[in-house]
């Protein structure tokens, strides 16, 4: 495996050897890479921020965002960046009452398509066009929703919709063009278990540091006239965890034509998005050399697999992240499993909101 380096007009070079390389793919977030090579003038000229790195055996790619030149005992180049999906972070979901109102109706996958069309593929301002297309695959959830999204980075907004909808999102790169692909999560048969020899090591991490059951959303205005909406469940006492979310600069009543009900609905949606990020953290990680299971054939990022641990914890979990670590001519896989969020979870949270 070697690396191709592109700008947005074509290939400009390649890297055939490196000290270490980590390529991380994620089902519902930006992927990333970290690369270390021995310094040469040619490589320093080649590895420039804004260029694209593509693996020779993959159709995904990443944008170089950070480059560090080190002159110590040895001269090294360290560079890192995120998957080309992060190109969407160069655009903001702006509100234009005549062209891009904040409220959209459709499935979560269709809402992603609406946002991409308005703010990257065919925006009202041609100076905002990006080399992007959208390819939602068959089998995506079909529930139609009404959701408000405004004044957020486009890539982050698309990722949030994929998480809420319970499907994967990825980017494919070809000749300076990126395709955003929404794809269904699929259950696979292999079982990941140390006792079965399908993983080499395993670890479980639980945390409630950022956990919340209720989000109190602050809108425009000053006390006592500030608009405040609460989103959450029925927990009380010690089981109730509250967080405050200030949306006064992101969600504006003027974007809804002064309609207070629509404005409060948008605040509630922002609170729901916050609750999706404020879940109790329960993550299972494993490492494997993939000797008994074939990577990308038996399993891949975005699959749901059965996990059996030595800690008395068995569950069907999403393969949310896979890191390919290349060192000393060997590839080692780090696999992260996480709980799935479903459209039912989204609807439950979105329907349980009250103005304060």
Q: Which is higher by pLDDT, 70 or 354?
A: 70
DSSP secondary structure code for residue 197 in this structure: T
Segment 50-63 shows an average pLDDT of 91
For 241-276, write each residue's pLDDT tens digit: 999 999 888 888 888 887 888 889 889 988 988 888
Q: Which is higher by pLDDT, 282 or 337?
A: 337
Which pLDDT band holds residue 353 (cuts at 50, 70, 90)? very low
* 297, 23 Cβ separation under 8 angstroms: no
Segment 7-30 shows an average pLDDT of 94
May I ask the CATH class of domain 186-207+280-339?
mainly beta
Helix, strand, coil proportions of the chain in percent (round to 5)?
A: 20, 45, 35
For 285-341, write each residue's pLDDT tens digit: 888 766 788 899 999 999 999 988 777 778 889 999 999 999 888 888 999 998 765
Which pLDDT band holds residue 96 (cuts at 50, 70, 90)? confident
Segment 32-59 shows an average pLDDT of 94
pLDDT value at position 342? 52
CA dist., res. 322 & res. 195, Å (int) = 21
Tokens of 41: 């003038």
CA dist., res. 340 & res. 334, Å (int) = 19
pLDDT value at position 204? 83
Q: Work out the burial of residue 315: count CB atoms within 10 Å of its CB; fewer than 13 is exposed, 13-18 middle, 19 or more buried.
A: middle
pLDDT value at position 349? 46
Residue 173: pLDDT above 50?
A: yes
Instruction: State how far Cα 230 lies from the chain centre.
Output: 26
Residue 347: pLDDT above 60?
A: no
Instruction: For the chain, report the end-to-end CA distance as a whole number of angstroms.
Output: 58
DSSP secondary structure code for residue 47 in this structure: S
The string of DSSP codes covering 258-319 is: T-HHHHHHHHHHHHHHHHHHSSPEEEEEEEE--SSS-BTTTB-TTEEEEEE-TTS-EEEEEE
Contacting residues for 192 by C-beta, under 8 A, at least 6 apart: 198, 199, 286, 288, 305, 306, 307, 308, 335, 337
Segment 204-226 shows an average pLDDT of 89
Instruction: Give strand pairing partners of 308.
Output: 193, 314
Give the CB-side neighbour count of residue 157, counting CA atoms within 13 A. 29
pLDDT value at position 111? 96
pLDDT value at position 156? 94
Q: Work out the burial of residue 84: count CB atoms within 10 Å of its CB; fewer than 13 is exposed, 13-18 middle, 19 or more buried.
A: buried
CA-atom Rg of the chain in angstroms = 22
Residue corresponding to tokens 């329960």: 282
What's the whole-model pTM score?
0.86
Percentage of the chain modeled with pLDDT above 70: 94
Tokens of 183: 């794809």
* 269, 154 Cβ separation under 8 angstroms: no
Q: Which is higher by pLDDT, 225 or 129?
A: 129
Q: What 3-state class would DSSP assign to 97?
A: coil
pLDDT value at position 350? 46
pLDDT value at position 346? 47
Domain boundaries, the chain: 3-82, 88-183, 186-207+280-339
- The whole-chain average pLDDT of the chain stands at 89
Residue 18: pLDDT above 60?
A: yes
Same fold, 88-183 and 186-207+280-339: no
pLDDT value at position 137? 97
Architecture of domain 88-183: 3-Layer(bab) Sandwich (3.55)
43-47, 162-166, 201-205: least confidently modelled range:
201-205
pLDDT value at position 237? 95
């Amino acid at each position: 495996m070697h690396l191709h380096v592109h700008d947005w007009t074509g290939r400009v070079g390649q890297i055939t050897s490196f000290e270490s390389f980590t390529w991380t793919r994620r089902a519902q977030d930006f992927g990333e890479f970290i690369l270390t090579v021995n310094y040469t003038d040619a490589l320093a000229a080649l590895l420039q921020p804004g260029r694209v790195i593509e693996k020779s055996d993959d159709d995904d790619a990443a944008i170089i965002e950070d480059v560090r030149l080190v002159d110590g005992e040895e001269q090294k180049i360290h560079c890192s960046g995120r998957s080309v999906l992060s190109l969407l972070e160069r655009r903001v979901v702006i509100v234009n009452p005549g062209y891009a109102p904040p409220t959209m109706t459709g499935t979560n996958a269709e809402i992603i398509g609406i946002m991409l069309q308005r703010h990257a593929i065919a925006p009202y301002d041609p100076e905002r066009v990006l080399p992007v297309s959208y390819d939602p695959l068959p089998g995506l959830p079909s529930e139609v929703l009404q959701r408000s999204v405004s004044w957020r980075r486009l890539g982050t907004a698309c990722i949030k919709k994929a998480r809420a909808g319970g499907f994967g999102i990825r980017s494919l790169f070809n000749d300076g063009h990126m395709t955003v692909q929404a794809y269904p999560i699929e259950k696979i048969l292999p079982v990941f278990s140390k006792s079965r020899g399908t993983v080499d090591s395993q670890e479980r991490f639980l945390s409630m540091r950022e956990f919340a059951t209720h989000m109190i959303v602050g809108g425009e205005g000053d006390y006592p006239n500030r608009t405040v909406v609460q989103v959450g469940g029925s927990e009380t006492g010690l089981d109730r965890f509250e967080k405050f979310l200030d949306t006064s600069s992101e969600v504006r009543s003027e974007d809804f034509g002064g309609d207070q009900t629509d404005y409060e609905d948008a605040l509630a949606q922002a609170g729901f998005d916050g609750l999706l990020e404020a879940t109790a953290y329960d993550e299972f990680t494993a490492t494997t050399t993939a000797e008994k299971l074939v990577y990308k054939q038996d399993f891949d990022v975005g699959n749901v697999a059965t996990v059996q641990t030595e800690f008395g914890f068995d569950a069907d979990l999403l393969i949310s992240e896979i890191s390919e670590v290349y060192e000393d001519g060997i590839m080692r896989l780090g696999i992260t499993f996480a709980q799935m969020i479903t459209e039912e979870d989204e609807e439950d949270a979105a329907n349980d909101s009250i103005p304060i």
